[in-house]
């Protein structure tokens, strides 16, 4: 089983909480941590923007990634939400077993 951490950000804590809860209820992620606020600096429509955001870190499996991505797109308020998947290269066997049992 390949495990992933999927990152996304929102501009409201309540949106981050809603997305996290939906991903868990739909069994698309085993855990979603909400971190924030974080300050994001980026270029959008030709201008440099600085925004306070809340970051969601969703733990899932490679098999569930497509469904998780689709759910984030559907639930998100941004036109182009950040959705980045990073592989979990090393983790304890018991954690990975728990993660696998919680998604799908």
In the chain the domains, ranked by start, together with CATH numbers, are 3-102 (3.30.70.120)
Task: Give the model confidence (pLDDT) of 9-19 as tens digits.
Answer: 999 999 999 99
pTM of the model: 0.93
User: Any residues with CB less than 8 A from the CB of 10 and at least 6 apart, and which?
Assistant: 16, 19, 53, 54, 56, 76, 77, 78, 81
Share of the chain above pLDDT 70, in %: 100
Dihedral, CA of residue 16, residue 22, residue 24 and residue 29, to nearest 10: -70
Task: Report CA 78 to chain centroid distance, whole Å.
Answer: 14
């Amino acid at each position: 089983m390949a495990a992933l951490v999927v990152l996304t950000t929102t501009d409201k804590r309540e949106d981050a909480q809603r997305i996290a809860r939906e991903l868990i209820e739909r069994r698309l992620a085993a855990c979603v941590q909400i971190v924030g606020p974080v300050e994001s600096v980026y270029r959008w429509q030709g201008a440099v923007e600085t925004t306070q955001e809340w970051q969601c870190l969703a733990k899932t499996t490679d098999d569930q990634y497509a469904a998780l991505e689709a759910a984030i797109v559907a639930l998100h308020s941004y036109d182009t939400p950040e959705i980045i998947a990073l592989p979990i290269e090393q983790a304890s066997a018991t954690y990975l077993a728990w993660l696998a049992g919680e998604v799908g």
